[in-house]
Amino acid sequence: MEKTKNIDELKEIARKLRIECLKMLHTAGCGHTGGPLGMMDLMTVLYFSVMNHDPQNPHWPDRDRFILANGHTCPALYVCLAEAGYFPKTELAKLRKLGSPLQGHPKLNVDWGIEMSTGSLGQGMSIANGIAFAARLTNKNFTSYSFHSDGESQEGMLWEAALSAGHHRLDNRIGILDYNNIQIDGFNDQIKNVMPLKEKFEAFRWAVREIDGHNYEEILDAFDWAKAVTDQPAMIIARTILGKGVSLFENKPKYHGVAPNDEELQEALKELGA
């Protein structure tokens, strides 16, 4: 699909996607609000500027693959896929409804751009590694991307998989770790401190770059850097603000896993210029 590196265009896409995300969650009456809003800038750049994919040919063998390891943040993925054209935007209103393909965690549906069922934290790293191995074994040139949360990095199996990727020098592997320091029960550093993350990944033979996950210049530059890394996997650790874009939600653990009510939605939409 057509890609853009125009920052103003990308910011406008992200603004609209935040609006769609909030409307979708409000209609569902449940779901995760803070994480999807916080990661929307990163996801916008990934889908509309970085990845090679084709909504008109979702099974294209040479497409890049994306695994949303922190599957509870799937509203951000769903609005990106709908905006890209994988399925009609009207389907967003069916989030978490019985029989809908858009459940509270992603369900495998390559036709709609969903590469794997995810949400059990820690497993996505292994899945993305397997995809990268498949590319190597079949002499394909696509990249395997994965998105992770800081709370997820409390899971031991994530580190087992990270060790494997580093050991096998999977340089067609790019990870993005969303560091907002909040998980469902509160602030990470009060529950189980995961820092220092950069040094941990480097010890596991990853190339690592830390960025501001809302600074588009840094995001674009980091993806260019990651794609140029050779002989080892690359991890982008992005510091973000939970609920970014809506001051009512920002940096408040309460909004990790609740949908906006009527009053909150109206305040949020007004702030986003809807």
What is the pLDDT at residue 2?
85
Structure tokens at 204: 């596991």
HEC per residue, the chain: CCCCCCHHHHHHHHHHHHHHHHHHHHHHCCCCCHHHHHHHHHHHHHHHHHCCCCCCCCCCCCCCEEEECCHHHHHHHHHHHHHHCCCCHHHHHHCCCCCCCCCCCCCCEHHHCECCCCCCCCCHHHHHHHHHHHHHHCCCCCCEEEEEECHHHHCHHHHHHHHHHHHCCCCCEEEEEEECCEECCEEHHHHCCCCCHHHHHHHCCCEEEEEECCCHHHHHHHHHHHHHCCCCCEEEEEECCCCCCCCCCCCCHHHHCCCCCHHHHHHHHHHCCC
Residue 31 has pLDDT above 90, yes or no: yes
Which pLDDT belongs to residue 205?
98
Angle at 31 between CA 109 and CA 54, to 5 degrees: 30
Given the structure tokens 């950069």, which residue do they identify? 198
Checking if the pLDDT of 111 tops 90, the result is yes
pTM above 0.75, yes or no: yes
Query: Cα separation of 23 and 259, whole Å?
Result: 9
Q: What is the mean pLDDT of residues 92-116?
A: 98
Q: For residues 22 and 180, give the distance between their C-alpha atoms in angstroms, rounded to a whole number.
A: 19
Q: Which residue has the tokens 């909040």?
A: 182
pLDDT tens profile 160-204: 999 999 999 999 999 999 999 999 899 999 999 999 999 999 999
Please give the pLDDT value at position 92.
98
Mean local confidence (pLDDT), 29-57:
98
Distance CA 264, CA 35 (A): 16
Q: Provide the residue type at 252 as one letter.
A: K
pLDDT at 153: 97
| CA 26 – CA 32 distance, rounded (Å) | 10
Taking all residues of the chain, what is their mean pLDDT, rounded to a whole number? 97
The answer to whether the CB of 38 falls within 8 A of the CB of 263 is no
Going along the chain from its start, the domains and CATH numbers come out as 7-271 (3.40.50.970)
d(CA 231, CA 81): 31
**CA–CA separation, 58 and 86 (whole Å):** 8
Q: Which of 10-19, 104-113, 180-189, 202-211 has the lowest mean pLDDT?
A: 180-189
Res. 1: pLDDT tops 80? no
pLDDT confidence of residue 194: 95
